């Protein structure tokens, strides 16, 4: 990281269908080998399946699912006096969103089955209902932070 000046935040363009930055962020996380049109097709088909399954606005379901998966605290390793401590720190909202999208997509890819469209749609619905592997991952991070609560005085 540069010591001279702060790096500029990139402006993320909104997606063409939902006009949402969150949707374009999740499409970019689905992206593999630069095939953005394929990633967009996968996501939009998954959202269509979510709408058929829940009979609600899929964008609202996605926002609620991301909010449910977003961690509040995480642990970072800090070296003090030759020992490494896992120090719990609060997660900034931007990083929280990024972690939540990563958890949802990774757990969707690890689901059993062949079709990524169905797996992604089911994972979004599960995250909306506070179940599924992405919620488990969030709770695991919270447990680690809770277990290392004694080291909060060693913050950065």
Render pLDDT for 74-124 as a digit per residue (tens, 0 to 9).
Answer: 999 988 888 998 899 999 999 999 999 999 999 999 999 889 999 999 999
Residue 9's pLDDT is 85
Instruction: Output the pTM of the full model.
Output: 0.89
d(CA 76, CA 88): 6
Q: What percent of the chain has pLDDT over 70?
A: 98
* Chain mean pLDDT for the chain: 91
Residue 156's pLDDT is 64
85 exposure class (CB count in 10 Å sphere: 0-12, 13-18, 19+)? middle
Residue 112's pLDDT is 92
**CA neighbours closer than 13 Å in the CB half-sphere of residue 63:** 8
pLDDT of 153 higher than 80: no
d(CA 106, CA 29): 10
Virtual torsion, Cα 51, 56, 58, 60, nearest 10 deg: -170
Q: How confident is the model at residue 140 (pLDDT cuts 50, 70, 90)?
A: very high
Residue 43 corresponds to which tokens in the numbers above? 């996501």
d(CA 149, CA 61): 33
- Classify domain 21-154 at the CATH topology level: Ribosomal Protein S7 (1.10.455)
Q: Domain locations in the chain?
A: 21-154
pLDDT in tens, 33-51: 889 999 999 999 999 999 9
């Amino acid at each position: 990281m540069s010591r001279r000046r702060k790096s500029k935040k990139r402006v993320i363009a909104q997606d063409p269908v939902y006009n949402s930055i969150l949707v374009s962020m999740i499409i970019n996380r689905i992206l593999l080998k630069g095939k953005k049109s394929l990633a967009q097709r996968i996501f939009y088909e998954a959202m269509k399946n979510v709408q058929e399954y829940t009979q609600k606005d899929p964008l609202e379901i996605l926002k609620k699912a991301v909010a449910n998966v977003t961690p509040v605290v995480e642990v970072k390793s800090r070296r003090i006096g030759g020992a490494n401590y896992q120090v719990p720190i609060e997660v900034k909202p931007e990083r929280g969103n990024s972690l939540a999208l990563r958890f949802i997509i990774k757990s969707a890819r690890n689901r059993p089955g062949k079709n990524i469209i169905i797996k992604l749609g089911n994972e979004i619905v599960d995250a909306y209902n506070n179940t599924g592997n992405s919620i488990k991952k969030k709770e695991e991070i919270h447990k680690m932070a809770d277990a290392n609560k004694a080291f909060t005085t060693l913050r950065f």
